[in-house]
Structure 1
């Protein structure tokens, strides 16, 4: 079981990568990895929270960019709850941490041409809150 001998730096790099990939359309979750990392390296909680949030926010923004470059004539005109998204705007991305729904929200925000900066901030806030809860529960 030599593969279990992972340094904190390697674990943090893996956590960042897993967080990034799980926020794109690829399946997977980084919450369990964060929990496991914190059990092994509780002294790295702050850095783990930061890297998981940055990675997941980056992945959400990749989804936003993918939506941004979809032509407006695509079938997304029939997007469920499109009117709500347009009404509430970027703050809906506070829910981008939700499984499956979050990826769709990020994609839809890009497609609806929401400005990238508020989107990025609301995505980061939602992701930070979710990962912050995991860090709190793990400690």
Structure 2
């Protein structure tokens, strides 16, 4: 088990980065680790999910405490991306957080939720439902495709 720790930790880190506004991918790493075999699929999904949800919480904090600086050049979201996420949230409300895993709009949506002061507990539950569901789907699909059981 301790020999496998770098794989789980690496997936956690990749998923955390992938959930922030920094460009990264974790789904491919999860699928690769599952296809390779020898690692516990439940622990892989847990590591990816925990990292990804934590990354979204970091985005929420960015929105909550730094959104007033969003027009600065260094702010990680361009104004048009931020405005698109505000529109998405305005249209679908707090339930849009179930789709925080969706590429392009998901990460900005989590920043907007922080800026709009969405309750952190409610935010975390909704984001986790969507993100865990996505990783479970990827894991089951990969295991089915490869004929693996973990």
Aligned partners of 1:65 and 1:110 also within 8 Å: yes
Runs of 4+ in 1 over 6 A off after TM superposition: none
One of 10, 24, 31 as aligned partner of 1:14:
10
Q: How many residues align?
A: 132
TM-score (norm 2): 0.78
8 Å CA contact 2:18, 2:55 repeated in 1? yes
| Distance of aligned partners of 1:42 and 1:132 in 2 relative to their CA distance in 1, 3 Å threshold | farther
Distance 2:94 2:142 in 1: 30
1:60 aligns with 2:60: no
Question: Tell me, which stretches of 5 or more residues in structure 2 are unaligned?
Answer: 72-78, 144-150
TM-score by length of 1: 0.84
Q: Give the RMSD, CA atoms, in angstroms.
A: 2.1
Confirm whether residue 41 of structure 1 aligns to residue 37 of structure 2. Answer: yes
Q: What is the CA-CA distance between 1:12 and the residue it aligns to?
A: 0.8
For structure 1, list consecutive stretches of 5 or more residues without a partner in the other structure: 1-6
Query: Whole-Å Cα distance in 1 between the matches of residues 142 and 101 of structure 2?
Result: 19
The question of 1:95 aligning with 2:119 is answered: no
Distance 1:81 1:107 in 2: 9
Report the Cα offset of residue 86 of structure 1: 4.3
The alpha-carbon distance between structure 1 residues 40 and 79, as it changes in their structure 2 partners (threshold 3 A), is same
* C-alpha displacement of 1:11: 0.8
- Whole-Å separation in 2 of the counterparts to 1:42 and 1:91: 37
